[in-house]
Amino acid sequence: MKLLFLGDIVGRSGRDAVEKFLPDLIKDQGLDFVIINGENAAAGFGITQKICKQFFDLGVDVITGGNHSWDQKEALAFISSEKRLLRPLNFPKGTPGLGANVYQTTAGKKVLVMNVMGRVFMDALDDPFAAVEAELARYNLGASVDVIVVDIHGEATSEKMGMGHFTDGRVSLVVGTHSHVPTADAQILPKGTAYQTDAGMCGDYNSVIGMQKEEPLRRFTRKISGGRFTPADGIGTMCGLIVETDNKSGLARHIEPVRLGGRLINTGQASENAD
């Protein structure tokens, strides 16, 4: 099975990049399942029902969230009925929506997607490791489900790496989101779980993690806020990774970073230039 995970979609620039590249990528790569992190999709803060529909129409199967899940207040209402939109599993009991769910591909394969949020340098939520462990007690990779994906939305690389090794051999993919910069450590861990510390963002990289540079620089240099953060609106790069899993075990056979468009060196570009 072949799945795509795209990192945080930041504002219109990120949405435009996904709209431009995703449909062809699904077709050219023969993708079976697409997951994106959409918590920054609406002007950089949260997501709306309209934007969710736009992503689903493009071929997205599941949208994960994070610390900005509730920035658009309408999400509190529609997330309860939209099972394809997840929020972190380790929010307190009673929080609207789902943090994990099983989805079925057109070929009948079952995919468990979990969305958790880290606690290091982040909000003090429930234990993400315990939350993942509880879900893994209910589902067995290669038996009750064919693929298991964990999106850990966190600041600390160590916490994300810890989640990778904590679940190694029990899930298909652990991928980090939130820091908006693609890491160069895409790998298959010793027991067969695909891993990347951060998928990167889909957005304009001529920015400060997707935001126009002036306001972040003002706050860094003067410690004075001059207004809201505003998403950068240049040409976006679509960042993520493709993972191919074994049809029997559900473990990873191949992991490949994806970078298309915008300012970053696109995947395959450097080697092509060398020729």
Residues designated catalytic:
68
Q: What's the CA dihedral at 183, 157, 163, 258 to 10 degrees?
A: -10
Are 35 and 6 spatial neighbours (Cβ–Cβ below 8 Å)? yes
Distances (CA, A) of 73 to 32, 46, 76, 275: 32, 9, 6, 51
Q: Quick one: how far is CA 123 from the chain centroid?
A: 18
Alpha helix positions (H), the chain = 11-29, 49-58, 75-78, 128-136, 157-167, 214-222, 269-274
Are 168 and 198 spatial neighbours (Cβ–Cβ below 8 Å)? no
CB within 8 Å of 95: residues ≥ 6 apart = 87
The DSSP string of 201-228 is: -BB-SSSBTTB-SHHHHHHHHH----S-
Q: Using alpha carbons only, what angle is made at residue 45 by residues 241 and 151, rounded to the nearest 5 degrees?
A: 30
